Structure 1
Amino acid sequence: MFIEQAYKGNNIWWRVLITTLLTAGIFVANFIAYFMMSKKQVDDAYKSMSDIPNNMSLIINLSPFIFLLGFLFLLVRVLHQRSVLSLTTSRKSIDYKRILFSFSLIILLTIAAFAISYSMDHSTILWNFNPMKFAILFIISMLLFPFQIGLEEYLFRGYLMQQIGIIAKNRWFPLLITSVVFGLFHSANPEVAKMGYEVMVFYIGTGLLLGIMTLMDESLELALGFHLGNNLMAALLITSDYSAIHTDALFKYSGVENTTDTLNEMLVSMAIIYPIILFIFAKRYKWTNWKERLFGKIKVV
């Protein structure tokens, strides 16, 4: 009944339009600006960002999400007249153990995958540890990444999933649309410009994974934990010159990016790791009736 939670609020069209435009505006503006800029302008913009000290750049990039997430919660409460709880789960309360389990699982899998890769070939992976800079990075990451992933999850897998679902009256359409839009809104990331639009398959695939978690578990908790753990590892474990955000991570990739190899690694991750994650969740939380939860019709409440 996760999508049906939207029926607890006022869903008149102009309220939905205002909330969507005001909270997704930063993604839309970034998306439009990126495609209106020439390649030279894009390269100059990325260079300007790279000239800013890493930790300061991280603060600049993540701080707006504090206000945007708060604004989304305010609009849901005031305009739609429903609770943030209904945006989070179909259960009576938020299950923080689910968030912690999902968070821990992705961190363990990421470290394990990195350890295997490092043991096989670490010629292009440099030890980048600076105690002071890393300590500051860790504090900034722990304080600000929850807001960044919170906005993305509450906006895409929460608000938009629910609103599109009650309009389409089914589950598969909001799952597909929010996953594609989630991927498209990451198209301005530096790694996309560096490696090509093929990398968008990974972002859309990750959106699908998070959407499936949400629909099968009837809540955002697993997606929130996974997304937070994934982004923290991306910031703290290893960085590169073409990462979305440069950080003072533990390691740095110094090699020349091989687009084919990177895409193959992403596809392997999606084809093997993602199903394993869903299998673990399915067993732990006893998921059943996959067809109905992913493709079933929405009941009008």
Structure 2
Amino acid sequence: MYIAQVYKVLHDWWRYIIGTILVITGVFIFSIPHVVAIVMKGDADFSRLSDIDYLMSLFEPNLNFVFLLLPFLGGLIALFFAIRLLHGQTITSLTTARPKIDWKRIWFAFFFWGIVSVGLAFIDILGNPEDYKWNFDIKSFAILAVIAIVLVPIQTSCEEYLFRGYLMQGIGVLVKNKWVPLLITSAVFGLLHISNPEVDKLGPIIMIYYIGTGLFLGIITLMDDGLELAIGFHAANNLFTALLVTADWTAFQTHSIYKDLSDPSVMGFTEIIIPVFVIFPILILIFAKKYKWNNWYERLLGKVEKPLEDNYKVLD
């Protein structure tokens, strides 16, 4: 019912086009402070602004982090505005097919993946100490922690609500099945990361990870009839990454506890493949066991049909 419930609100295809344009506009507007800061700096070389390394060198890392995340706040505000204005839809029905948002699911996914990801990171740090530098500065880290705790969940929620929520529902109603929106949103989600510095350092193979992550998040959304697990997982993944380990060649370059010094050009095929083809399937099985998922074919590949009740008025 997660996609099918959109039949109860205004769901014309053109509304989703306008809504997406509004989100892009919101992102652009909230990017203006970064542009203004660059202009006011005075000595910036505008011909080099497409160079991520140069762009990140213009300001202190915590300020860079704010500039990086702020546009997602604009996107999320614009998206919530669009669903109310264009669709008459509530945030709850964009989030889940349940009567109300299940915060226990969000917190379970957040803490579960947070503990697992931090554990895996420390195993690697202990096993390869030469690849890591202790980078902890209490003042800089405290400021980072406040920024990250406030803005990272906004960034990840914006992506989840847009891709696994708004576009998943809109495309699903348009094509009247579930597998097409699953594949399209996963591919677009992955491809939008193509400008990340990791792609330049690791090569196109990293797109397997980005698209695979989108596919994983889409699967748990469709199987669970809601975004809660995806929201919790994504927030934990990005938050603990920003706080624990970053590198000079990643999108997040922060005052993290550790700095990764390893050469990205020698990262093995397994570092990219294992999360997508081993860790993510295991997580899906764990979630499936906990939440008693069944009818996998219908939930992932089935048709999207109008609910039986003849009630298509705008939701209150």
**Alignment TM-score, normalising by the size of structure 2:** 0.88
1:21: which partner in 2? 21
Note the residue ranges of structure 1 that are not aligned, 5 or more in a row.
31-39
CA deviation profile, 1:28-68 (whole Å, cap 9, x unmatched): 9x9xxxxxxxxx84663431323310100011111122222
Q: Please point out which of 80, 86, 97 is paired with 1:79.
A: 86
1:5: which partner in 2? 5
1:280: which partner in 2? 286
Aligned-partner SS, 2:64: helix
Aligned-partner SS, 1:225: helix
CA deviation profile, 1:121-160 (whole Å, cap 9, x unmatched): 1112011100011111010001111211111000000000
CA deviation profile, 1:73-119 (whole Å, cap 9, x unmatched): 11101111111111000000001000000001111111111122122
d(CA) in 1 for partners of 2:110, 2:75? 23
* 2:187 maps to 1:180: yes
d(CA) in 2 for partners of 1:8, 1:257? 48
Count of paired positions: 291
Aligned-partner SS, 1:116: helix
Q: Work out whether residues 27 and 185 of structure 1, in 8 Å CA contact, stay in contact via their aligned partners in 2.
A: no
Q: Work out whether residues 245 and 258 of structure 2, in 8 Å CA contact, stay in contact via their aligned partners in 1.
A: yes
d(CA) in 2 for partners of 1:44, 1:12? 40
Q: 1:26 to 1:194 in 2, by over 3 A?
A: farther
- For 1:1-301, list aligned pairs within 5 A: 1-24=1-24, 41=48, 44-261=51-268, 263-301=269-307
d(CA) in 2 for partners of 1:26, 1:69? 8
Aligned-partner SS, 1:126: strand
d(CA) in 2 for partners of 1:299, 1:122? 54
What amino acid sits opposite 1:208 in the alignment? L
What amino acid sits opposite 1:148 in the alignment? Q
What amino acid sits opposite 1:233 in the alignment? F
Largest Rg, 1 or 2? 2
1:37: which partner in 2? none
d(CA) in 2 for partners of 1:99, 1:135? 25
Of residues 176-185 and 2-11 in structure 1, the stretch that sits farther from structure 2 once superposed is: 2-11
What amino acid sits opposite 1:194 in the alignment? K
Question: Where in structure 1 do 4 or more consecutive aligned residues deviate above 6 Å?
Answer: none
What amino acid sits opposite 2:126 in the alignment? S
Q: 1:23 to 1:43 in 2, by over 3 A?
A: closer
d(CA) in 1 for partners of 2:131, 2:223? 40
What amino acid sits opposite 2:143 in the alignment? I
Q: Work out whether residues 50 and 246 of structure 1, in 8 Å CA contact, stay in contact via their aligned partners in 2.
A: no
Aligned-partner SS, 1:65: helix
d(CA) in 2 for partners of 1:159, 1:269? 26
Q: Work out whether residues 89 and 219 of structure 1, in 8 Å CA contact, stay in contact via their aligned partners in 2.
A: yes
Identity over aligned residues, as a percent? 45
CA deviation profile, 1:190-211 (whole Å, cap 9, x unmatched): 1111211110110000000000
**Alignment TM-score, normalising by the size of structure 1:** 0.92
